[in-house]
Structure 1
Amino acid sequence: MNKVKKIVSILVTSLFVFSASGCIVKTEAGKENTVVAKVGEEKIRLIDVKKQMKSNEDLIKQQYGDLTSQDAKKALESSYVNMLERVAEWKLLNIVAKENYESIIPNLDNIEAEVEKQVNITKEMYFDNDDTKFKEGLESMGYTLDSLKDSYREDIRYSTDLVIAGRVEYEVTKNITVSEEEIKSYYTTNVASYTTNPGAKLYHIVVDTEENAKEIRKKLKKDAKFEDLAKEHNKDGSENYGGLLGYIEYDSTSFDEAFMKVAKELHGGQISQPVKTANGWEIIKAEDVVKDTKVTPVEEVKDSIKERLLANKRSSEFATKLAKWKEEKGFKLYESKLKKNIF
């Protein structure tokens, strides 16, 4: 019995040290074992949150140089609070999976089958089971199918809670659909978003003097590239984009009146003579000119509308379920304990 008491005493002492003033001060191990959330009877400790924070900490270090400044500490604390809720939600969804969706829990003895399952879920949830959209989507995010599978292998082995949480969301939302009527209704309500008013994609080069502007105009006539000269002379941020200002509607009041008067007269690909504006002397180039109001037909945008509505409906349904489960199971976050033990 005395031996047991001695072991317990050693374990407790290892988590705390006494300061010179007699106050108990937690060691690093003691801090990491602090309970920062409870989901039902399951406890989440600081170490559980810390394990998920490495990439976040790296980003904050990259932004602030280190984690010692007040701004860096504030950013880190906010990131920890957000991660705490995520980790607690993963735990909650694991409990829900064991009770209601046992078949979705990954079989770690058959990783490759689980990887294929994860790929299929991704394709269905985000790319409407369309192979072409799936391939294009992966490319836009910098993935190949092989690199995506590698990522999923890592997740299934080392972030099982995250994988299960995603699969619960899939189970809850997989039967949600969007009707043709919903698509048409959304289009009608938001037709202004699919309407292009008269205007053009405008570029400019801006300098301080008329003399400089005339010299640049001569260079352009000799086949100098507009984007190169914009990069050389502009100082307003557009130099990084070849002088591009964006698609500007002709009735815009955000630009100088003299600038817009000249811009309206330009044809596609045409470059103006130097014009005096509030910014200095500008040379303007127009592309993709639209002279009449153009409304994109619903048939051309129905796929993107469907994706938007489907994502919104899935998000809403899952949020409702999540809130219900939090209330039923008991979901408590101890943010003050978390903040007290981060540093």
Structure 2
Amino acid sequence: MCHTIVTKKRYDESGTEIESKREGKNLITLKKKVVTVLAASVLTAVLAGCGLVEETQESIDATVLAKVGDVEITQKDVDTEAKSYIDSLKVQYGEEILEQEEGKQVIKDLKVDILNSLVEMRILDKKIAESGMETDTEEITKAVTERIDQVKKTYGDDEKYLAALEEAGFNEETYKTFVQEDIVRSKYYESIMADVTVSDEDIEKYYEDNKKNYVTPAGANIYHIYFGNDDEAKAKGEEVLKLIKEDGKDFAEMAEEYGKDLSAEAGGLLGYYGYENTELYADFMDHVKKLKEDEISDVVKSTAGYHIIKVDGIQAEEVQKPLEDVKESITSTLTANKKSEKYLSTMEEWKKELNVKVYEDKIR
């Protein structure tokens, strides 16, 4: 239940407020200031609890969601980072996604991830400052320019590039700062990971423990020319088959000219696939299994449509890959794992050191 707070002022016979008369006109003691502020705060809290004071967007934006030492991360910081992701969701699924429970949970999870990422960035920034690392070197400037140039190329012209920056909440200057900070953090990350190494013993143990993952299954290199799934596609397939088998036309050239999928650019090559893979349609693989080395099929039909298929590099039985062939891959995997473990443990130490506080429950 809400209670109205009423204060009564006391006046003397001349109508002058007693407090003002005693302390002097317009003189308010520090104690009275403090009491007044506290009373106002209590009153606001009481009224807010009664639903009589409406939260403003400004107050929501200012809500502190995390503290990294003396640095605060607010709701506005998180919302700014989340905006482009949320806009993409709305484009892909419609505005109504924001009102659905599933959509709300996706956005909440997104904001939690963003909040924790911002916390880690602020921690890294503090550690970079403490380390004395130079952040404006010629090498860093060059890296910033190269990355921005790469981004510009993806948009084709400056107008589209600037529009994309604006949509993401940047201008040219703020985006340049963002890229520089990201590159600096990456360089610092690599510096603290410089002592991470993987021994031959580590590699050999990992290989022995995971041998089944380093097996080439029975299968073949598969090529095809895909024509589509209607009668016209079938007729075109018969025409091309004649060009290959009777006129001696090159399979790869015919794939490039007539193929209707992305494999056409590679002469019809899909890649090496095990006979029992589940990535390609089962009825397509049924046709593949019947072919001998370098054999070209007739026009055949699968769930996808009509094809002409060719295979080579047939391997009748599975083969264990030797350690030498996979050593580089294993080294990369183990190095990445060790770096991840070190990063997580180091970050936990830094969070304790900086007395980091995160308030996920306050996220809007």
TM tier, shorter chain? 0.5 to 0.7
> Does structure 1 residue 216 correspond to structure 2 residue 232?
no
CA distance in 2, matches of 1:113, 1:207: 51
Unaligned runs of 5+ in 2: 1-26, 155-172
Aligned residues of 1:38 and 1:333 also touching (Cα < 8 A): yes
Deviation at 1:259? Answer: 5.2
- Out of 342, 345, 350, the position equivalent to 1:325 is 350
Match of 1:91 in 2: 122
Match of 1:248 in 2: 273
The one-letter amino acid of 2:112's match is V
Aligned residues of 1:49 and 1:84 also touching (Cα < 8 A): yes
Deviation at 1:197? Answer: 2.5
RMSD: 4.8
CA distance in 1, matches of 2:334, 2:112: 30
The one-letter amino acid of 2:289's match is A
Match of 1:267 in 2: 293
Deviation at 1:74? Answer: 4.1
Aligned residues of 1:200 and 1:286 also touching (Cα < 8 A): no
Match of 2:133 in 1: 104
The alignment-based identity, stated in percent, is 27
1:73-123 residue CA offsets vs partner (Å, 9 max, x unmatched): 443332222111111122233344445x2x1263xxx4545436989xx9x
> Does structure 1 residue 80 correspond to structure 2 residue 126?
no
**Kindly tell me: are residues 184 and 264 of structure 1, through their superposed partners in 2, closer, same or farther at Cα, counting changes over 3 Å?**
farther
Give TM-score, length-normalised by structure 1. Answer: 0.63
Match of 1:180 in 2: 200
Aligned residues of 2:196 and 2:335 also touching (Cα < 8 A): yes
CA distance in 2, matches of 1:68, 1:262: 46
CA radius of gyration, larger in: 2
CA distance in 1, matches of 2:271, 2:178: 45
CA distance in 1, matches of 2:52, 2:305: 70
**Kindly tell me: are residues 186 and 22 of structure 1, through their superposed partners in 2, closer, same or farther at Cα, counting changes over 3 Å?**
closer
Deviation at 1:33? Answer: 0.8
- 3-state DSSP of counterpart to 1:272: strand
Unaligned runs of 5+ in 1: 123-137, 143-152, 232-238
How do 1:137-286 residues align onto structure 2 when only pairs under 5 Å count?
157-158=177-178, 162=182, 165-202=185-222, 203=224, 213=234, 216-223=237-244, 225-226=254-255, 231=260, 239=261, 241-242=263-264, 247-251=272-276, 256=282, 260=286, 263-268=289-294, 270-274=295-299, 279=303, 283-286=307-310
The one-letter amino acid of 2:108's match is E
- Out of 49, 66, 76, the position equivalent to 2:78 is 49
Aligned residues of 2:230 and 2:305 also touching (Cα < 8 A): yes
CA distance in 1, matches of 2:229, 2:176: 60
Aligned residues of 1:217 and 1:283 also touching (Cα < 8 A): no
Aligned residues of 1:259 and 1:275 also touching (Cα < 8 A): no
The one-letter amino acid of 2:113's match is N
Aligned residues of 1:206 and 1:283 also touching (Cα < 8 A): yes
CA distance in 1, matches of 2:64, 2:343: 27
The aligned length equals 293
CA distance in 1, matches of 2:123, 2:285: 58
CA distance in 2, matches of 1:45, 1:332: 12
- 3-state DSSP of counterpart to 2:107: helix
CA distance in 1, matches of 2:236, 2:139: 66
The one-letter amino acid of 1:309's match is L
- 3-state DSSP of counterpart to 1:267: coil
